[in-house]
Amino acid sequence: MLITFESWTQKQVGDTYEWYMGDRRFPVSWGEIFAGQETQTRYQLSVLREHVPLGSVFPCYGLVRRSGSGTEITSEEQTWFLKDTRPGGVDQDPGLPYHSALVLHLPEDLSGPDAELDSDRAKEGVLIPIDHYPEAFVGDTIELYWNGHLVELSLDADQAEGLTPIEVFVPPDVITLGGSGLLSIRFRIYDLVLNFSGEVQQWSEVVNLKSNLDPNAFMRPHFLVDGVDNNNVDFDQYAQSHFELEVIVPTRLSNGAPTPAGAQIVATIEGTRADKTKVTLTLPAFAARPGRSAYTTVENSILEDLINGSMRISYKLQFPLGTEIGYSAGLSVTVFGTVSNMPAVEIEENEGGLIDPAAPYLKVNFPVFMPYNPNYPVTLRFEAHQPGGGLVFYEQTQQAGAPPPPTRFRIVTPANFAQFVGLGPIDVFYRVNDGVNTIQEADVLTVRESEHLIVEIGERRADLPAPQIEGVDENDNLNPADVIFQANVTLPYAFLPGDTVVWRWVGSGAEGSTGDTINVVVRGEISFPVDRKYVDLNNNGVIRLSYSLIRSGQTLRSETLDVTVGKAIGVLPRPEVLEASRHPDQLRPEAATTGATIEVSFLNMSPSDRIMALFSGIPGIGTYEDTQDGNTSRTLHFDVPREVVGANVLSEGRLITVQYFVLRGTRKIPSPILDLLLLPLTTLPIPTIEGHDSPVLVVSQLTGQERTLIYSWLFIHRFQRIWMRYEGIYDDDTTYIEDTYSQNLVTPEGESLGIMPPTPPDLRKLKDGSTLTIDFWASFDRSTNKTNAVHFRQRTYTIQALSGDLPHPFINGTTDTGPNVTVDPLPIEHNTTVTVRYTGMSGRDFITLVLTFSDGSSHSAGLPGLDGGTVVFNLTADKVLHRSVYSTVCLTYSVARTGVPDPIPSQVQTVWVNAIPAADLPQTLVNNVNDGDTLDLASFAGDAKGSVSKWPLSDEDQLTWMVLSAEGIEDLTVFEGKAINATEAANGLKDQAVLRSWLARVPNNSQITVKFWAAYNRINDKSRAVAFPSTQYTLALGNTLIVWPDRIRHSSYMYRLGDYPNIVATSTSRNTTQVNVSGGTAPYRFSSSKSNVAAVDANGAVSTRGNGVAIISITDSSSPPQVRTVTASIENVIWVYNNGSGTFDQMFNSAVDRNMSLPYLEQQKLMQEQYAGRWPMANNYYWSRSRQREEFGIEFFWTTNLASGVTAWFANVPSNTFNAVAIDQFKYED
């Protein structure tokens, strides 16, 4: 019994629901809401048969107990009547076409063989006695049908107990409706709970009676089944038979006139279905043959619709057609059989009763069933019973839809079937609702239930190797073009006679699934063909092939072979990030301020492919994943948000892995990985005290209202954490440290305006001449770990604590005056002087001049005073100008005087040193080609060479940048923040490598711009460096040698035979990559620096040989020759050696003694595939270390015949000796 609870308010996980019947102490069934079920609209309980009380039961009610509070809510208490028997009981002779316990009798005067009911007798009515039947109950209703017309009787208590006879009176009006002819009389019974008599047959045996109520009626027709008169048709037996009507029209009409030639017979069938609904059909008119038989066909579908019902057949004679000249008596025919034919559904993913929970969906196929109508609602139901009575169920109701073909099916998604995983047996069935009431005025619809399919959804424990399909490539793809008429399948296991093998080919396409059961008669593996249509129907989809072995009642299951179907995917190129440079693969964050773009492009992309791109930085906020459909242009772009890029910014840079996967069916085919270095940010702001951006901080000028400004930076985010620290020395020589921020959030205000904390007042207490540093960090990854935070540029101030009593010095060579001046550098290049002048200067004074540069460093020089009051410092040789171009320099001095304890400070002069005019700076040249000319790649081999002549005021440790740019391609950074050495300062930069690979990617005849910057101030900030004149070139590709790919990586497992080094694995795209060449001059020569790692043939195919790294060189025939190189990285090469033969223990220990091991079964499978048909060792089984099972203390291990691929398992006992190989997984080639 199923009890349904409608959803209640404020339900939650842990609520229990219970059902009580006749007892308020103990529920007959209960359930609990588990996680994931709280959103259901209904909950159901299953009450076991033994817990269902019978008869009139009170109270019957439901109870909900809320989780936590224990509050109880109950439904209204009801009285239920329950009954578990049918009227008539179980038929003791179910083989008969009627219920043997249901018996009726005709009255004695109507019982003889010649008895006939005439009109006078009909006026008295007919009393039909019925024998007392088993399981009679008060309120049973007898439905007696007199030639298709219903008469009912409800049993009273005495009749039910057998104390009084059961008699049904058929009144004259019903007899009249029954008409003349051969009448059929039968009955059935239903009880108070609407159970019909049965279970197999509902009806009593038919009793026939001749009736002659109308003397003018012609003789009744005859109903023939395969030419034989039959008034009680078993449709189960005669469903395929030929049904027809035989009519013999009299030669004279009722009025004595002769029957006219050409008269037409119009027959009518008045049918009563099993559910008491009526149907009237008129058969097509057919010619009468007076005095002789005339026939017409009755369609089988008419009888099928009337199973367990009846039909009354009569005819009218018309002449001409449409004008009635006579009519017949009727014939009543009963039809019995199976009312409905509702076989169980088929689930394509079901294999031997088990469904893999990893299936992407369940495809439930419906059989042909009856009753059927396209508009009938059909409910598919899954239900699993739980201890205590809980019921987990899923229902899906849809219209029946068009009949097959194609097969009707439903899809059940993992979201709906996941709740059944691990619950044990699940009943899967369907219900058909034809919308017709079962019993008059009962208001109960006819809902017929199909046979049940019992399955389980649970983990598939693979005991057997996966099946094989001929033609499947290394990416587990089957190209339909490679399949000729049929696909050849092999089940690679040593089957035994008597085994039963069930295999399932589950395709994603409509009608694309098949399967069969094989009864094994010969030992060994099994091969069989599958029609090519099951490949074509799954084109651009997937096939999941598996099999189960049933042996001695035990079921073993294979691994599942997942195969995509379609054009082979080929070798996938790596992805590219459009904003990044190539070789080296680097991404400057400044180039991705609006995000990064992953480009995926491969030749065999199909619109049915799904491509998933992955940008993998820090987990979570620093990782991006997206999936798109393929397209016909074969190129996709994935936009990585700026927040994802920014979260990966790190002071030392961060390695990002970029990859994509082609999703074909359940296959996830990986591309090569792009290892992308995200460079550090070089444009970070520097903390600056408001109004004090010069290197000297005069603390006496601080008003207490200043703020320290850190302007908004690239990739700033309100959830980043920040740290800020001031460090200096107090005037009492103690250390000053103050942390303004520690793990503070940036906040939305800081995100938009930057960080602006108040400047600490303690800065006024710092020691004169000491250094103050301000440091700032931000965690771009938003963590609280300061070690991961990015350190911004440090601000360094020189503290001037004392007020300036002496006038400021002044730099010579400028017309400006006062404390803030500007100077051009070149006019004072060879005569850089600073004048100090104050009143009262004498020869006893010692003057120390200090220049503080913009990076916080300083330079000092000392001279004695002069009585005249003026001292000039010549700083030309000190090269202070070389550090000051395009920056601010602060000039101060102090005077040490005899008898005065502390030096006397001066005021400050702030000097802005202008940039050197572009006209006085050299241009950057590539290969010494002049600006505006053509750079022809055919005119040189290898990389180009960039150079910059010596520039004015160049000096050691100045920082430099060189960048090439062109339309439609990322910039090439030749170097960045490079500190020049003394030689370069004296002679300029020479022979800086400009990558040919980048130049070769620039479209022919495009413009290239070469830019150069120098930071005289030594600050690693290109925006504060001096820009040199740019150089423009037109690029001519000429006949350049172009090679791709420029990097090869083989990481798929490959087995090498150490005892047979000249026999190598079959070449596949997993272990062989073609180096493509264009341009240059043919022929081309290929060579490998380590042929024992990567071998290359004369056509450029690079093949795996051993673990390591090799350089593949490609040389053309130009003069001079052009040479390109490709780096080949090889890994996962496993060496295989003959290990002799013996028991498992002997072979295992022998391998260990050699510092090797036995292979696993899967490793043997790959070995056999790679050397199929070429295995040079013994044709025998080889031990693996994969254990099949343990039984009675004996271990069983898998073996593989490495020559044929057949697998089998054997016990580890002394009598079982087989061959073995040992593998070395760690051999690395020098």
Angle formed at CA 116 by CA 114 and CA 118, multiple of 5 degrees? 155
Residue 443 has a pLDDT of: 40
- Residue 340 clears pLDDT 70, i.e. is over it: no
* Alpha-helical runs (H) found in 321-452: 414-417
pLDDT tens readout for residues 1135-1151: 999 999 999 999 999 99
Q: Alpha-carbon distance 68 to 57, whole Å?
A: 32
pLDDT tens readout for residues 692-740: 988 999 898 898 899 999 999 999 999 999 999 999 999 999 999 999 9
Q: Which helix (H) or strand (E) holds 181?
A: strand 181-190
| 223 or 897, greater pLDDT | 223
| 344 or 461, greater pLDDT | 344
Residue 485 has a pLDDT of: 86
Q: What are phi and psi of 909, to 5 degrees?
A: -110, 125
Average pLDDT value for residue range 486-509: 91
| Long-range pairs for 1076-1079: beta carbons < 8 A, 24 or more residues apart | 1076/1043, 1076/1044, 1076/1045, 1076/1100, 1077/1041, 1077/1042, 1077/1043, 1077/1114, 1077/1116, 1078/1042, 1079/1037, 1079/1039, 1079/1040, 1079/1041, 1079/1042
- Residue 451 clears pLDDT 90, i.e. is over it: no
Average pLDDT value for residue range 1159-1187: 92
Single out the residue of 1050, 1049, 1057, 1051 nearest to residue 1167, CA to CA.
1057
**pTM value > 0.75:** no
- Tokens describing residue 717: 């985010």
CA 180 to centroid of chain Cα atoms: 72
Cβ contacts of 708 within 8 Å, gap of 6 or more? 687, 688, 689, 690, 724, 740, 756, 757, 758, 759, 774
Question: What sign does the dihedral 903-906-909-910 (CA atoms) show?
Answer: positive
Q: Tokens 């015949």 correspond to what residue?
A: 1201
Q: Alpha-carbon distance 1144 to 643, whole Å?
A: 57
The mean pLDDT of the chain is 91
Q: What are phi and psi of 439, to 5 degrees?
A: -135, 140
- Residue 428 clears pLDDT 60, i.e. is over it: yes
Q: Alpha-carbon distance 1196 to 1218, whole Å?
A: 13
Q: How far is CA 10 from CA 39, 74, 360, in A?
A: 11, 15, 33
Strand blocks (E) in 819-958: 820-823, 833-837, 846-852, 858-864, 870-874, 887-896, 904-905, 909-913, 924-926, 934-936, 944-949
| 1206 or 1070, greater pLDDT | 1206
Q: Alpha-carbon distance 1205 to 275, whole Å?
A: 62
pLDDT tens readout for residues 244-283: 999 999 999 988 899 999 999 999 999 998 777 889 999 9
| 460 or 642, greater pLDDT | 642
Percent of the chain with pLDDT over 70: 98
Average pLDDT value for residue range 173-193: 91
Least confident of 330-339, 501-510, 789-798: 330-339
Single out the residue of 879, 868, 539, 821 nearest to residue 694, CA to CA.
821
Average pLDDT value for residue range 994-999: 90
Residue 126 has a pLDDT of: 96
How many helices, marked H, and strands, marked E, lie in the chain?
13, 94
Residue 372 has a pLDDT of: 82
B/e letters for 1106-1116, b = 16+ CB within 10 Å, e = fewer, are bbbebebbbbb
Look up residue 1021 and give its amino acid.
D
Least confident of 712-726, 819-833, 1185-1199: 1185-1199
Average pLDDT value for residue range 490-509: 91
CA 1087 to centroid of chain Cα atoms: 43
Using pLDDT thresholds of 50, 70 and 90, give the confidence band for residue 581.
confident
Using pLDDT thresholds of 50, 70 and 90, give the confidence band for residue 294.
very high
CA 22 to centroid of chain Cα atoms: 51
Residue 1138 has a pLDDT of: 96
pLDDT tens readout for residues 69-116: 889 999 999 999 998 889 999 888 877 888 999 999 999 999 988 899
Question: What sign does the dihedral 1019-1025-1030-1035 (CA atoms) show?
Answer: positive
User: What 3-state DSSP class applies to 422?
Assistant: coil
pLDDT tens readout for residues 1042-1100: 888 888 989 888 999 999 999 999 888 889 999 999 888 899 999 999 999 999 999 99
Using pLDDT thresholds of 50, 70 and 90, give the confidence band for residue 136.
very high
DSSP 309: E
Look up residue 1134 and give its amino acid.
I
Q: What are phi and psi of 1095, to 5 degrees?
A: -95, 145
Question: What sign does the dihedral 743-747-753-759 (CA atoms) show?
Answer: negative
- Residue 772's CB is within 10 A of a number of other CB atoms, namely 21
- Residue 439 clears pLDDT 60, i.e. is over it: no
- Residue 661 clears pLDDT 70, i.e. is over it: yes
Look up residue 226 and give its amino acid.
D
Average pLDDT value for residue range 482-495: 90
Average pLDDT value for residue range 132-159: 94
Using pLDDT thresholds of 50, 70 and 90, give the confidence band for residue 954.
very high
Using pLDDT thresholds of 50, 70 and 90, give the confidence band for residue 406.
low
